Amino acid sequence: MTDVYDVTTVIGRDEVLAGRLYRTRTAGSFEYDSGYLRRRDAFALAPALALFPGAQPLLPANPFSDSAPDTWGRKVQNRAAGRRLDELTLMLGVNDEGRQGATRFWTDGVAVTAGDGVPVEAELADIIHVADQIERGETAIDDVAVRRLFRATGSLGGARPKANVRIGAHLWLAKFPKPVGDDWNVIAWEAAMLDAMATVGIDTPAHTSKRVIVDGSERTVLFLRRFDRTEDDVRVPYISAMTALEAVDGDGGDWVDLVDFARLAGADSAELWRRAVFGALVGNLDDHLRNHGFLRRGPAWKLAPAFDVNPEPLDDGHAHQLALFGTGELELASFTTKDALGLFGVKPAGADAYIRRLRPVMATLPAAAAAHGADAFSVSVMSSRVESALAAIS
Ligand SMILES: Nc1ncnc2c1ncn2[C@@H]1O[C@H](COP(=O)(O)OP(=O)(O)OP(=O)(O)O)[C@@H](O)[C@H]1O
Ligand SMILES: [Mg+2]
């Protein structure tokens, strides 16, 4: 039996039919709608789905994987189902309200999967309580609570526990500390990174951190305004750099390819350089392709705001997931060579000016992390990294 789903996206502010997804028990394919193909403003939903008629396969590398859950979302959805689900079931099972980007799936005019909303802030302590239970691998968890968490998790990728939350009229993403496995206050440091990046002019989503009491203990939660929703909640198409480069999880990647795509797509490659330099200084080693993304703006794919930038202690070294010219061992000096500046289209004077702006900001990082709730140990664990950054730019 073949199931058929309408697939829509957003052009401008309008939700439009882009095509149809056909799904059998073991395979899936996508076909653009002829009306969509005739539009002059039609865009490929993913580079792997070029704008031509006829069926295009969705497996083994799903071009819609940004609409599917990642590590954390899979964990919760499999848990709610009580078994391991296949890729397309996971993708279609995501709560429509929180789905990443603008791609939506429909049957008979009803969005798949229409849930009954995402939680509000007041429910967060309960949600984190259940997220903790899942992270700890507990077996006796209330079924209804798991389903609620699953609705909240949506298609947001990443391994860290998280949930969508509606605050007022807007959709936000809440990132939680792990109950086990966080060796320091990772969330406070991530919040400090966002503050610092915003100060030096890197585009960041609106964000705030809050202390939430869960089971009697205080936890730092990071709230990020969803950048794939407009002020009035219109969906904005999103592709991760992984989708943009037609890569799959674990493929690694190189700034060269990312800059190449950005240039062709109409995005700002100098902003990528500023992010790369910031990431090299703070030791943002986990800068894999899913941690960069693009939002559709008119006829271009523009850079999504920076996200998931996390420092690591200096002892962890300089080996980044995203290489530059084939090498993953990256420091500030790697990005200031003539070749690197040429690649990103940054002039030496502009590079110097940016690095000067970074100095005072790097110096305030420990205080910023503390202000977001990092305890003395969490602050000190990053001292050597901060000192090394300061030495590199002094
Ligand atoms: N402000 C935002 N608005 C919309 N989507 C976002 C936002 N921040 C992150 N995302 C999406 O959610 C995904 C997960 O977020 P994030 O990368 O911060 O989580 P993580 O669990 O720390 O990831 P990782 O496994 O890389 O450590 C991102 O890959 C991105 O697609
Ligand atoms: Mg991530």
| Of 172, 308, 309, best ligand 1 pocket probe by most atoms within 8 Å of the beta carbon | 308
pLDDT of residue 66: 93
Using CA positions, which residue lies closest to atom 26 of ligand 1?
A: 158
Is the Cβ atom of 159 under 6 angstroms away from ligand 1? Answer: yes
Spatial strand order of the sheet with 238-240 comes to 238-240, 293-297, 300-303
pLDDT of residue 157: 61
Contact between residue 146 and residue 65 where contact means Cβ atoms under 8 Å apart: no
- Where do the domains of the chain lie? 3-106, 121-225, 238-392
pLDDT of residue 23: 92
| Residues 6+ away with beta carbon under 8 Å from 82 | none
**Which ligand is closest in space to the CA of residue 74?**
1
- Cα(296) to centroid(ligand 1), Å: 17
Is the Cβ atom of 312 under 6 angstroms away from ligand 1? Answer: no
pLDDT of residue 156: 64
Contact between residue 358 and residue 169 where contact means Cβ atoms under 8 Å apart: no
- Cα(61) to centroid(ligand 2), Å: 19
Is the Cβ atom of 160 under 6 angstroms away from ligand 1? Answer: yes
Side-chain-facing half-sphere of 371: CA atoms under 13 Å:
11
Mean pLDDT, consecutive 10-residue segments, the chain of 394 residues?
93 97 89 98 97 92 89 83 89 90 96 80 84 84 78 70 89 89 93 98 97 88 97 97 92 95 97 98 97 97 98 98 98 98 98 97 98 97 98 94
**Which ligand is closest in space to the CA of residue 294?**
1
**Token pair belonging to 227:** 């950048």
- Cα(394) to centroid(ligand 2), Å: 30
Contact between residue 358 and residue 322 where contact means Cβ atoms under 8 Å apart: no
Contact between residue 375 and residue 219 where contact means Cβ atoms under 8 Å apart: no
Q: At what angle do helices 124-135 and 143-153 cross, to 10 degrees?
A: 100
Contact between residue 152 and residue 133 where contact means Cβ atoms under 8 Å apart: no
**Which ligand is closest in space to the CA of residue 242?**
1
Q: What is the rounded CA–CA span in Å between residue 390 and residue 358? A: 9
Is the Cβ atom of 227 under 6 angstroms away from ligand 1? Answer: yes
For the stretch 108-114, contacts whose Cβ atoms lie closer than 8 Å and that sit 24 or more positions apart, written own/partner, are 112/5
Contact between residue 47 and residue 243 where contact means Cβ atoms under 8 Å apart: yes
Fold annotation for 121-225: Phosphorylase Kinase; domain 1 (3.30.200)
pLDDT of residue 259: 98
| Of 173, 197, 227, best ligand 1 pocket probe by most atoms within 8 Å of the beta carbon | 173
Q: What is the position in ligand 1's atom list of the atom closest to the CA of 227?
A: 3
Q: What is the position in ligand 1's atom list of the atom closest to the CA of 156?
A: 12
Is the Cβ atom of 291 under 6 angstroms away from ligand 1? Answer: yes
Is the Cβ atom of 209 under 6 angstroms away from ligand 1? Answer: no
Q: How far is CA 70 from CA 73, 100, 290, in A?
A: 5, 11, 10
pLDDT of residue 201: 97
Is the Cβ atom of 98 under 6 angstroms away from ligand 1? Answer: no
pLDDT of residue 319: 98
pTM (predicted TM-score):
0.94
Q: What is the 3-state secondary structure (H, E, C) of the chain?
A: CCEEEEEEEEECCEEEEEEEEEECCCCEEEEECHHHHHCCCCCCCCCCCCCCCCEEECCCCCCCHHHCCCHHHHHHHHHHHCCCCCHHHHHHHCCHHHCCCCCEEEECCEEECCCCCCCEHHHHHHHHHHHHHHHCCCCCCCHHHHHHHHHHHCCCCCCCCEEEEEECCEEEEEECCCCCCCCCCHHHHHHHHHHHHHHCCCCCCCEEEEEEEECCEEEEEEEEECCCECCCCCECCEEEHHHHCCCCCCCCCEHHHHHHHHHHHCCCHHHHHHHHHHHHHHCCCCCCHHHCEEEEECCEEEECCCCCCCCCCHHHCCEEEEEECCEEECCHHHHCCHHHHHHHCCCHHHHHHHHHHHHHHHHCHHHHHHHCCCCHHHHHCCHHHHHHHHHHHC
